[in-house]
């Protein structure tokens, strides 16, 4: 197997890591492979993820860390196992590692969890997100499948909130179907504040984009409203839903919008059944956004 990544300098902070997929194929004996994680002694501070996140990825990642102790994780992956990706992201965050998506590389789906865990975190290639989708051999929905899906959705939200993920990322993730991918533009990356340029700079504090909901949190009364006010991702979803609702109000006829208004009231009543459950609330918003759009 071959190391496709090449690095001009070992510092991500210097922003000089590059990826060149056109290099000739050759086996480099000094490279150490741990599943799809690659270490090269030529670049002792870096570890490279080059491929999907497969079963056993966490064990391979831990072994690479024990043997080489890198401080930078360079990412090129289409995603893969959600649970493995989340576990790796927790390790990255706990160790204070930097993450980088190099030029000409994509980091999508579960790979994005790992990217957001880094600080600094830098994008030179492409970052993609979409909805989480569970799979089962049976097509019909079961209580077990629903419980597993909610548990994983809750972990995703908890982890990304812990990593100071901007609220707009949650919106893009929830509004993009599992079979599609939302790629962040350079303009959106800069505007939303997805990157973290430095953790060690004097006076630096991790930037956090706080998304306020469409309603006044000082008047939040129900468990649902209080949960939305306490969660950055839910607040962003609430703002997005409010915008979609107001857009329909401005474009539909009075009779057409009356039906939308009635269905919105019914949806809000059903939303209250979620109580303080963040996964339940997020799924309710996701479903309603799909209806309005």
The torsion angle over the Cα atoms of residues 253, 256, 257 and 262, rounded to 10 degrees, is: 160
Contact between 206 and 164 under an 8 Å Cβ cutoff? The reply is yes
CA atoms within 13 A on the CB side of 49: 33
Confidence of residue 171 (pLDDT cuts 50, 70, 90): confident
Domains and CATH numbers, the chain: 5-130+181-192 (3.90.226), 217-292 (no CATH)
CA atoms within 13 A on the CB side of 129: 20
Mean pLDDT within 28-56: 89
**Could you tell me the end-to-end alpha-carbon distance of the chain, in angstroms, rounded to an integer?**
45
Predicted pLDDT of residue 198: 60
Tens digits of residue pLDDT in 271-280? 999 988 888 8
| DSSP three-state, residue 28 | coil
Tens digits of residue pLDDT in 118-148? 989 999 999 999 987 654 334 444 444 445 5
Mean pLDDT within 193-221: 65
Mean pLDDT within 19-38: 63
Given a cut of 90, whether residue 62 has pLDDT beyond it is yes
Inter-residue long-range contacts of 38-43, CB under 8 Å, 24+ positions, other chains counted: 38/1, 38/3, 38/5, 39/64, 39/67, 39/68, 39/70, 40/3, 42/7, 43/7, 43/10
Confidence of residue 150 (pLDDT cuts 50, 70, 90): low
């Amino acid at each position: 197997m071959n190391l496709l990544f090449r690095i001009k300098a070992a510092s991500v902070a210097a922003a000089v890591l590059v990826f060149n997929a056109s290099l000739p194929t050759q086996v480099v004996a000094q490279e150490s492979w741990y599943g799809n994680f690659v270490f090269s002694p030529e670049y002792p501070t870096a570890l490279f993820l080059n491929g999907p996140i497969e079963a056993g990825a966490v064990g391979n990642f831990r072994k690479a860390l024990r043997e080489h102790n890198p401080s930078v994780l360079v990412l090129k992956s289409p995603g893969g196992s959600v649970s493995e990706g989340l576990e790796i992201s927790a390790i990255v965050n706990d160790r204070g590692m930097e993450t980088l998506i190099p030029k000409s590389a994509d980091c999508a789906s579960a790979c994005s969890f790992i990217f957001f865990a880094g600080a600094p975190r830098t994008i030179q290639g492409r970052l993609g997100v979409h909805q989480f989708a569970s799979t089962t051999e049976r097509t019909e929905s079961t209580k077990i499948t629903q419980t597993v899906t909610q548990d994983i959705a809750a972990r995703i939200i908890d982890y990304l909130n812990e990593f100071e993920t901007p609220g707009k990322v949650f919106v893009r993730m929830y509004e993009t179907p599992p079979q599609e991918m939302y790629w962040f533009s350079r303009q959106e990356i800069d505007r939303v504040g997805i990157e973290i340029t430095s953790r060690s700079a004097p006076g630096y504090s991790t930037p956090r984009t706080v998304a306020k909901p469409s309603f006044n949190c000082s008047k939040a009364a129900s468990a649902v409203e209080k949960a939305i006010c306490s969660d950055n991702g839910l607040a962003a979803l609430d703002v997005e839903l409010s915008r979609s609702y107001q857009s329909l109000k401005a474009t539909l006829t009075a009779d057409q919008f009356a039906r939308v208004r009635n269905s919105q009231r019914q949806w809000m009543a059903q939303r209250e059944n979620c109580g303080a459950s963040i996964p339940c609330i997020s799924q309710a918003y996701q479903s309603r956004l799909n209806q309005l759009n």
